């Protein structure tokens, strides 16, 4: 059951020129959250729609969110001060099932943050994380802390593997075995992760991003085609049935 709560801003810091880490005092939301779930954040008076942001981590009733400034809502959020109140609805959606498994985490850009907490709960975690260039890399130290191997890839080769997260992931897949792949990022990356998992004969969970309204399954804004066990296509909600799905449920080419 989600809570709607006014949460106190404990800290807000820039991770790079357009990415911020927000620490909120979030009582029940933090206590009940699971890795891969998200919260719906109210981003200023006059903006009716809350903005969905994944939970990066929780600790001691605190929520750690990492977000990029994309438009007016996230820009408003990036200008909060310590002790400001932010209205948060959550925890929402279904998360990853990485606990007690050997997992390869594949993340691209701002899809990287929700994988961190899931990696902490895995029996064994490796990560392949892709960014545009070195000055866009985020959370590298955090993933090094919780993963046995954390490979960074950059599109321009300015840090780590020259290429995408999938190029880094393929190096790990060539040398190690996993029970599960968990991926979050742009749709082409999710599709490539799903294909790599199918080739390796292991399950894959992907976290999907869709525009949202209510965040709780009531408005249909986030409806997407999904595939059931018999291959039949039906419509489900990313906010309620996801955002994390098993890859075989996802219709990648709609």
Question: Are 115 and 205 a contacting pair, CB within 8 Å?
Answer: no
Which positions from 47 to 66 touch ligand FAD by CB under 6 A, shown as an x/- string?
A: --x-xxxx-----------x
Q: Select the residue interacting with ligand FAD from 2, 33, 38, 90 (CB under 6 A).
A: 38
Closer CB to ligand FAD, 72 or 82, in the complex: 72
242 binding ligand FES? (CB under 6 A)? no
82 binding ligand FES? (CB under 6 A)? no
Q: Select the residue interacting with ligand FES from 14, 72, 82, 218 (CB under 6 A).
A: 218
> Which listed option, ligand FAD, ligand FES, none, makes contact with residue 140 (CB within 5 to 8 Å by class)?
none
> Which listed option, ligand FES, ligand FAD, none, makes contact with residue 218 (CB within 5 to 8 Å by class)?
ligand FES
Q: Identify the bridge partners of residue 104 per DSSP, sorted by sequence position.
A: 126, 181
211 binding ligand FAD? (CB under 6 A)? yes
CA distance 223 to 175: 38
Q: Cα 181 vs. chain centroid, distance in angstroms?
A: 14
Q: Which residues contact 29 (CB under 8 A, 6 or more apart)?
A: 2, 3, 5, 7, 39, 63, 88, 90, 91
Candidates 28-36, 90-98, 193-201, 211-219: pick the segment binding ligand FES (CB under 6 A).
211-219
70 binding ligand FAD? (CB under 6 A)? yes
> Which residue in the block uniquely carries the two structure tokens 């200008």?
79
Instruction: Report which of 123, 126, 92 is spatially closest to residue 106, judged by C-alpha positions.
Output: 126
2 binding ligand FAD? (CB under 6 A)? no
Angle, alpha carbons 189-193-197 (nearest 5°): 170
CA distance 50 to 53: 9
27 binding ligand FES? (CB under 6 A)? no
221 binding ligand FES? (CB under 6 A)? yes
Q: Which residues contact 215 (CB under 8 A, 6 or more apart)?
A: 38, 40, 50, 52, 89, 92, 239
Residues that bind ligand FES (CB under 6 A): 212-215, 217-222, 237, 239
Residues that bind ligand FAD (CB under 6 A): 38, 49, 51-54, 66-68, 70-74, 110, 113-114, 209-212, 243
């Amino acid at each position: 059951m989600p809570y709607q709560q006014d949460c106190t801003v404990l800290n807000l810091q820039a991770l790079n020129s357009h990415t911020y880490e927000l620490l909120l005092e979030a009582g029940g939301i933090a206590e009940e959250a699971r890795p891969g779930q998200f919260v719906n954040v109210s981003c200023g008076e006059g903006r009716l729609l809350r903005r969905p942001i994944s939970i990066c981590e929780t600790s001691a009733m605190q929520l750690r969110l990492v977000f990029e400034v994309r438009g007016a809502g996230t820009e408003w959020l990036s200008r909060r001060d310590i002790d400001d109140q932010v209205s948060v609805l959550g925890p929402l959606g279904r998360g990853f099932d990485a606990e007690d498994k050997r997992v390869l985490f594949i993340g691209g850009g701002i899809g990287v943050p929700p994988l961190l907490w899931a990696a902490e709960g895995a029996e064994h975690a490796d990560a392949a994380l892709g960014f545009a260039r070195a000055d866009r890399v985020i959370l590298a130290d955090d993933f090094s802390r919780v993963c046995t191997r954390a490979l960074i890839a950059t599109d321009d080769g300015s840090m780590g593997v020259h290429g995408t997260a999938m190029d880094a992931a393929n190096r790990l897949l060539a040398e190690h075995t996993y029970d599960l792949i968990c991926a979050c990022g742009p749709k082409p990356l999710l599709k490539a992760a799903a294909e790599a998992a199918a080739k390796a004969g292991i399950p894959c969970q992907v976290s999907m991003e869709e525009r949202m309204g209510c965040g709780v399954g009531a408005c249909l804004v986030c409806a997407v085609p999904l595939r059931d066990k018999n291959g039949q296509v039906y419509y489900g909600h990313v906010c309620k049935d996801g955002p994390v799905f098993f890859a075989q449920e996802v219709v990648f080419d709609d």
